[in-house]
């Protein structure tokens, strides 16, 4: 009912959208606005939690007020100019009519009394009438320019002036409101940009930290330090410290037996949260061992996918290197302990060359330990995704862990001094 009783605008004859005015409501359908600034403001405000429809509504309201203010100013100027033209036209017409009347009366008098005589009655009458006409024009001009009630247009002029003043006051008020809204929008846009830039900087900082491996490096050091404290060894986080021989290679340095006396050997741990080539991995370990005077180097990587190509975890290379893959978030695992203890056993064997060691038994025990560890890791992976039968799997896991520890203890007893 409302749509039929209240005035409406006709549908636009365009193909990209329709605009209808229903009473005090504006209905826009399928209208596409091709304006870069409008699109950017809607997107940025939407990213800040403002609905697109709310932003478009505010934009239309502000624009409508601006257009109305501009047309009001034009109308005021038009009314003032029209008034001035009307008053001038009235004065001109009155003057022309008075002149015509004088000329006509003069012609009649001249025809009756002889126009050749300058001092004739008709000439005097002409002068009198001309003077009267001048006074009349002056009186009319004075009357229309007066401010009081003598001016017949005083009420009209007063109404126009009041209307103009009210319109100007309204325009100024709305302009002030528009300025406030625009200022608020600008602040929101600036805040959105600053927030976006801050998020970008934080992301870059986090990415840089990840590239450097600090977080993973610190977690690996904490895990190594816990192992060292249970064995009477000392672990130092040396990743940011220069070595005596120069350079900062070697993230964690373990000194065997240093908790109770002079160290009997040194192991360096290099923690990497990225995949290295084989040559780069060996370069890192060799430089770390050289800088820290270590006899064994262990490369710790964050996951199996970061193991150098062509290399395997917990396999000894060149008699003094091992690679171990750990979980990035929880590097404190049995695999790290196996690598630690194998490296310590190798240093003990190298330190005392006269020690009688059954090399075959040591090798077999190490291989069995690695095999058991792989079984334990497989079971752990199974436990991660399987809920049922977990008690049985954990029992098997604990059994394998105990067997693994017995093998490691056997290795240490075989290389221990008599």
Reported as a single tens digit per residue, the pLDDT across 282-298 is 999 999 999 898 999 99
Which whole-number Å values give the CA distances from 336 to 218, 319, 342, 411, in the listed order? Answer: 14, 18, 10, 16
Q: How confident is the model at residue 64 (pLDDT cuts 50, 70, 90)?
A: confident
Beta bridge partners, 268, equal 253, 297
Annotated domain spans of the chain: 1-32, 38-184, 213-340, 352-418
Give me the mean pLDDT over the 237-246 stretch.
Answer: 68
Q: Which residue has the higher pLDDT, 328 or 213?
A: 328
Give me the mean pLDDT over the 66-71 stretch.
Answer: 70
Q: Which residue has the higher pLDDT, 320 or 72?
A: 320
Supply the pLDDT for residue 28.
Answer: 85
Supply the pLDDT for residue 215.
Answer: 75
Supply the pLDDT for residue 246.
Answer: 56
Q: Cα angle at 347 between 346 and 352, to 5 degrees?
A: 105
Give me the mean pLDDT over the 112-117 stretch.
Answer: 58
Supply the pLDDT for residue 14.
Answer: 46
Supply the pLDDT for residue 417.
Answer: 57
| 254 in Cβ contact with 293 (< 8 Å) | no
Supply the pLDDT for residue 12.
Answer: 46
DSSP 8-state symbol, 310: T
- Tokens matching residue 164: 């103009």
pLDDT in tens, 300-349: 999 999 999 999 988 889 889 999 999 988 887 788 998 999 999 888 88
pLDDT in tens, 345-355: 888 887 765 45
Which whole-number Å values give the CA distances from 306 to 270, 313, 382, in the listed order? Answer: 13, 11, 21
> By C-alpha distance, which of 330, 327, 328, 363 is closest to 345?
363
Supply the pLDDT for residue 414.
Answer: 80
We find that the CATH architecture of domain 213-340 is 3-Layer(aba) Sandwich (3.40)
> At a CB cut-off of 8 Å and minimum separation 6, what does 327 contact?
302, 303, 333
């Amino acid at each position: 009912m409302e749509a039929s009783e209240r005035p409406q605008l006709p549908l636009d004859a365009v193909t990209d959208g329709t605009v209808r005015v229903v009473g005090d409501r504006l209905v826009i359908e399928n209208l596409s606005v091709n304006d870069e600034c409008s699109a950017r403001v809607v997107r940025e405000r939407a990213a800040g939690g403002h609905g697109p429809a709310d932003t478009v509504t505010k934009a239309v309201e502000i624009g409508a007020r601006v257009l109305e203010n501009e047309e009001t100013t034009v109308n005021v100027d038009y009314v003032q100019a029209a008034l001035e033209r009307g008053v001038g036209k009235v004065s001109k017409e009155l003057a022309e009519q008075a002149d015509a009347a004088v000329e006509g009366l003069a012609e009649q008098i001249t025809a009756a009394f002889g126009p050749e005589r300058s001092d004739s009655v008709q000439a005097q009458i002409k002068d009198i009438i001309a003077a009267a006409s001048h006074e009349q024009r002056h009186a009319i001009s004075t009357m229309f320019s007066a401010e009081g009630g003598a001016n017949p247009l005083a009420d009209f002029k007063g109404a126009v002036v009041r209307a103009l003043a009210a319109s100007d006051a309204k325009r100024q008020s709305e302009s002030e409101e528009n300025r406030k809204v625009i200022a608020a929008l600008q602040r929101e846009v600036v805040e959105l940009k600053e927030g976006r830039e801050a998020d970008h900087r934080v992301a870059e900082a986090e990415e840089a930290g990840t590239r450097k491996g600090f977080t993973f490096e610190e977690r690996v050091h904490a895990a190594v330090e816990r192992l060292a404290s249970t064995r009477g060894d000392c672990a130092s986080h040396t990743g940011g410290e220069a070595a005596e021989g120069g350079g900062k290679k070697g993230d964690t340095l373990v000194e065997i037996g240093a908790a109770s006396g002079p160290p009997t050997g040194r192991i360096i741990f290099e923690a990497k949260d990225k995949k290295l080539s084989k040559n780069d991995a060996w370069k890192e370990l060799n430089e770390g061992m050289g800088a820290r005077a270590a006899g064994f180097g262990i490369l710790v990587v964050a996951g199996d996918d970061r193991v150098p190509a062509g290399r395997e975890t917990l396999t000894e290379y060149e008699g003094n290197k091992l690679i171990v893959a750990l979980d990035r978030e929880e590097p404190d695992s049995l695999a790290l302990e196996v690598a630690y203890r194998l490296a310590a056993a190798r240093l003990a064997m190298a330190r005392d060359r006269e020690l009688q060691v059954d090399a075959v038994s040591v090798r077999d025990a190490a291989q069995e330990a690695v095999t058991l560890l792989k079984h334990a890791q497989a079971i752990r992976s199974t436990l991660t995704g399987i809920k049922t039968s977990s008690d049985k799997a954990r029992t098997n896991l604990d059994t394998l862990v105990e067997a693994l520890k017995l093998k490691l203890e056997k290795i240490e007893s075989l290389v221990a001094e008599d």
